[in-house]
Amino acid sequence: MKYNQLGSSDLNVSEICLGTMTFGEQNTEEEAHAQLDMAADYGVNFIDTAEMYPVAPRAETQGRTESYVGSWLKNQQRDKWIVATKITGPSRGFEWIRGGPRITKAHIETAIEDSLARLQTDYVDLYQIHWPDRYVPMFGSTSYDIHQAHEAIAIEEQLQALAGLVDTGKVRYIGLSNETPWGVSEFSRCAKVLGLPHIVSIQNAYHLMNRTFEAGLAEVCAHEKVGLLAYSPLAFGHLTGKYVDDPQAKGRVTQFPQFTQRYSKTNVAEAVQAYTQIARDAGLSPAQMALAFVRSRWFTASTIIGATTLEQLKENLESTDVVLTEEVLAQIEQVHQKYPNPAP
């Protein structure tokens, strides 16, 4: 397992991060612990969770994922693990979270205390804003609609509140998620002007069918020393090829169709078929090729993987042994030119 410096922090994170949003919905506590044990055996030192998890979000299960991670973490040597979690933003409802989540000082302080209690630790290494307090297009929406803009908590205020958590030792570093180039730039600018903690990471979707990060975000993150934590590298299982073989295969797409709108767009099926064929012609599993591609990008600090079975997890973890040839990379680029970003 290779380890990368996360942005401008002193965190050295494994190139594979274990995502946990299946814990508590698709996976039991025992299954969650088995996944964590396997990840540890392969050299993973980085766990990502969120107060909102598991997915699909429900009031009855909210916070269960952190609790499952916490019941495992309490029996580990804490300083050997880099633990990341996220505070829920507004714009998606979830009224059961603090009566309607916002990124205010009071909400931040309540959220971190609740997360620490569930995680059974007195600090997290990386605390991320799950999505902006302000309106931005996300989760399949790509065009900014000024008419959806709403009053938002000032970025300066958000940073000052997060700085308080860093000062008290409850949080080591801060990061963003589902952010835009403007958002990263503004958080960085405010941190410099006000002498507040700098963001070190951004957790955004990045995979073969969504390479939009490569434009504005890659540039700003390079200048501001912000590392990408790439989520959905397998595009909700599409890039494993299993839905090519069986459109009704068991997975998030068939279990939670309400979250798959970005994968029902024009040219998604054609792109999946093309990428699957490239992998199989090269003697690779489609999943391992997709993960190896994300891992090979210069801006990727860590690739977040998720699984519901140990068999899937093993295949994903072993993708670190795969190095894509120039021929395969050229074939991938040809498909990308033909079907650019069909699932942003």
> 131: domain range?
3-237+287-323
Contact at 8 Å (CB) between 127 and 112?
A: yes
Res. 244: pLDDT tops 90: no
Three-state DSSP class for residue 230: strand
Does the residue 268 lie in any domain?
A: no
337 within some domain: no
- 243 has pLDDT over 90: no
The answer to the question of residue 20 being in a domain is: yes
Whether 279 is in a domain gets the answer no
140 pLDDT above the threshold of 80: no
Would residue 265 count as lying in a domain?
no
Q: For 9-13, 198-202, 253-257, 332-336, which range has the lowest pLDDT when averaged over its residues?
A: 253-257
Q: Is residue 266 part of a domain?
A: no
pLDDT tops 70 at residue 145: yes
Higher pLDDT residue, 126 or 91? Answer: 126
Percent of the chain surpassing pLDDT 70: 96
In the chain the first and final C-alpha atoms are separated, in Å, by: 29
pLDDT digits (tens, 9 = 90+) for 167-223: 999 999 999 999 999 999 999 999 999 999 999 999 999 999 999 999 999 999 999
pTM: 0.96
> 53 catalytic, yes or no?
yes
pLDDT tens-place string over residues 102-122: 999 999 999 999 999 999 999
- Among residues 3, 42, 53, 206, the one annotated as catalytic is 53
For residue 296, is it within any domain?
yes
CATH number of the structural domain spanning residue 110: 3.20.20.100
Decide if 248 is inside a domain: no
Work out the mean pLDDT of the chain and round it to a whole number.
95
Secondary structure class of 48 (helix, strand, coil): strand
| Total domains, the chain | 1
Tokens of 121: 């630790």
pLDDT at position 254 is: 67
pLDDT above 90: residue 257: no
Phi/psi of residue 336, each to 5°? -60, -40
